[in-house]
Structure 1
């Protein structure tokens, strides 16, 4: 199941066939998401998926800064070949300690809820702005389709003319088999499942499949567009570019950045970028290249990375595909690549000196499908961490070794060095807050003066260094955003000031009913 959603700091009247909007004057925005099983064929191959309001990607949610977002999720799932329970995570949306139970992290801050049940997430957006998304957080469920997009006075507004629901762009991987069967295969073969196709704005093609129409993005000559690009993949990274056009990066994972011009960028699972593109070329059709990177087609003959693409269509151009060749975008000396370590926040905040240092060595033993952090594979507890903390379990000895739970006092700075010895590439994501990226993959630069702040950072050959604050008491999930990796152990929990959680967290009765209801479900409905 997969769900994706974007929050935008703009108000609009419609959203690509689905309206999920509220007037600007209302302080609270109410949204309903019905999670259903239904046919879906983004690349022309029809299968049953897990869908939000019957669509893939799910409907965008457009909100404004300062609103409170109230999302009622109705679980209407019926297909027992996939997970029937669910839980929704709003990636990158900051949650304060008193609301930590609404983060939707199964068995960390909540229990999932079963078919026929509903749960309402209340999310005060405060002053946060940027591009975010929502998805199923239960096991590998969002592979089946439950993904969507979410975003809430922009100092960079002078750089663009258009920023609305039509400028939300998504890249995604897609499987013809269900997520549960893919996980069974992964456990048996030790081979990371490879997608059947890559999608741009919910459409793509695969080898031998039908030539379905590529998704087109319409632009008016002379206008400048803020495109909010979101990678809603389960595991794939994409090289993204637009033929004959440059891109000015002005946001990374909800953090506004100094304008930085490139013509190609690599976006990892869970990451978001806002890019400004000027429609300054001759009227016509131009390829949008969304090329899956580092996937082996020998593990899935359906995959053809050159077939995941879209069309930038100027007003007045013919309704046809570009006549230019399919390429992977700029290469060699023509490529001006986005490098993470070159991105500077518009509002730089120096990284504080660390009070504690933590090292994550990531590793998978030979012939065992189990990723490890420091020789331990994360296994979610049967009783969520937050439930136990509220019952008084706040010491290190209260947590099993397999929970990978690291406890720290409040108001401290933690430095985490993540070592990726196999050069596998793990997009690590922290719930509830951003981290400072002190050292990025691909660079030896150590930057504590004005490093980029974000909530997803990819590992690679060597070490990345992150710092974050424990200003928010609570258990916060910190994990690889490749769903198959997380499902087999590549996760952890940061316990910030757990002894103070009981003083600030007062969950609702609806939340307190989740775990007893889930525990009472037969195994086939969990």
Structure 2
């Protein structure tokens, strides 16, 4: 069942100004404690062991303001021997400004995992972003078992604040695929690797609640509104596979943010969201007082492979104050919806031309037929035993210094890199996700037009049948993961490492002693605890 949100962020200190014109004061600090453990939960009515944060699914929201210094302590309390017992944390979409780690939480890229019984603190530093983000385990497919939650960075000076009246914890909408099998990593992942057939989810949760065919009538999640008010809904697709269509019966949606980037307001009736993508939409409660369906039909494999799945059960309720406590009386609409989002029509609130490319790279995504082996330019990524960052700090500087299966691309500092993904005939639109920074999406999968004048920037976009072109800068030194956010594909090799400026990394990145201790501790664990 849906657990009540419990805020775990605690304001540590409010620093008082000192009478000195030369004084420089850090922003207030937020410290968050995430206790990662096992719990028996039933989000869709089927009880199973889960991997969750502070005993709940989804995890508690991390809520901070732009300018806050954020630190997150992960206490690994995992004990279930049928699952992975080590863990990690990815603050998805946040870019670390500290000199300790260029990117937090990428196992075997920037650090080793956190073993059972251990703790580790990510000192993120002052946040200079704002928008809708999330956190999850980056280890194997562990977040499918429940280790995922929202991370919202509010901007008190949001330039679009005049467009909405309400933006709080109650307007966060988390979408997530859900499996009944409790041995996803030890059994279903090897089955997928052997057959190439991704397991199909049993249900799809909205803020932690769902139903499945033949299951109990779990209460729908409810979003409460007051007629006449405007609500900023923060949508997060926390799925490991499913592409979700979001629609609210009888209401239009004004898109104002994608992946932490402010947009020129763009009105639609529905929008598709790939795994890992986030949007903010403004919904105006301007309809007659009643109950309305929040409709989230999804695509994620052949439903015939899992008879529990029923996309008409992927829904929630928008309830106006004064409406009866009852389900809407209309049938659910599973689309297609008119006036749905075309990603290529989005524009940044502050236009910025994409810089000319200094380096051009073509990336081909291919799968070996009948097997779960994905390749990028012919290489299937395998995580190394020694993290990329550790190798760089020890002197690695060229692609030849890494195993071929690490698929590491080395780029010089302060250059613009263009990635071109050719058209492919694969059925999946791969949500490619870049750690460490956003990229200019100069040709989305939804158009043949190349836009270098005012493209949007984001961190997750589709490489699919129509191809994609993106550009990014190498101004930030360090290794950064770039991978498919369908985590089944990620585990099957659809990933690379982008290493910017190895010499600059050694000069600027200085991990602490706690980081130094992670790999020896992890490597000393027995295999069943890793």
Band the TM-score falls in, shorter-chain normalisation: over 0.9
1:260 is matched with 266
Deviates more, 1:187-196 or 1:282-291: 187-196
Secondary structure of the residue aligned to 1:112 is coil
- The alpha carbon displacement at 1:250 in A equals 0.2
2:523 paired with 1:519 = yes
Task: Work out whether residues 241 and 264 of structure 1, in 8 Å CA contact, stay in contact via their aligned partners in 2.
Answer: yes
SS of match in other structure, 2:363: strand
1:482 aligned partner: 486
User: Could you list the per-position Cα deviations for residues 383-416 of structure 1 after superposition, in whole angstroms to 9, with x for gaps in the alignment?
Assistant: 0000010011112210111111000101000000
Q: 2:440 aligns with which of 436, 441, 449?
A: 436
- Deviation of 1:100 after TM superposition, in Å, equals 2.5
TM-score by length of 2: 0.94
Q: Distance in 2 between matches of 1:97 and 1:358?
A: 29
Q: How does the TM-score come out when normalised to structure 1?
A: 0.95
In structure 1, runs of 5+ residues without a counterpart are 1-14
The equivalent residue for 2:18 is: none
Residue 398 (structure 1) aligned to one of 398, 401, 407: 401
- Give the match's secondary structure for 1:63: strand
Partner of 1:372: 375
| Shift, 1:325, TM fit | 0.6
Q: Are positions 1:327 and 2:315 aligned together?
A: no
Q: Which residue of structure 2 aligns with residue 383 of structure 1?
A: 386
Task: List alignment gaps of at least 5 residues for structure 2.
Answer: 16-27
Identify the residue that residue 98 of structure 1 maps to in structure 2: 99
1:453 equivalenced with 2:457 (yes/no): yes
Pairwise CA RMSD of aligned residues? 1.4
1:63-78 aligned at under 5 Å gives the runs 63-78=64-79
Instruction: Determine if contact 2:102/2:436 at 8 Å carries over to the other structure.
Output: no
Task: Give, in whole Å, the separation in 2 of the partners of 1:123 and 1:196.
Answer: 36
Q: Deviations over 1:118-160 (max 9, x none)?
A: 0001112432100000000001111111000002110000000
Aligned residue for 2:514, secondary structure, equals helix
Conserved 8 A contact 2:103-2:435: no
Task: List per-residue Cα deviations over 1:154-177 (Å, max 9, x = no partner).
Answer: 000000000011110011100001
Contact kept? 1:101, 1:507, Cα under 8 Å: no
Q: CA deviation at 1:183?
A: 0.6
Q: Tell me, in whole angstroms, the C-alpha distance in 2 between the residues paired with 1:44 and 1:97.
A: 43
Residue 17 (structure 1) shift: 3.5
1:292-331 equivalences in 2 (<5 Å): 292-329=298-335, 331=337
Is the alpha carbon distance of 1:337 and 1:195 closer, same or farther for their aligned partners in structure 2, counting shifts above 3 Å?
same
1:520 to 1:101, Cα distance in 2 relative to 1, 3 A: farther
**1:143–1:77: structure 2 CA closer, same or farther, 3 Å change rule?**
same
Stretch of structure 1 that moved more, 151-160 or 124-133:
124-133
Aligned residue number for residue 11 of structure 1: none
- Is residue 46 of structure 1 aligned with residue 47 of structure 2? yes
Provide the residue aligned with 1:502 in structure 2.
506
The DSSP-based 3-state class of the residue aligned with 2:372 is coil
**Given that residues 96 and 102 in structure 2 are in contact (C-alpha distance below 8 angstroms), is that contact kept between their aligned partners in structure 1?**
no
Count, aligned residues: 509
Among candidates 141, 156, 162, match of residue 158 of structure 1: 162
Q: Secondary structure at the match of 1:192?
A: coil
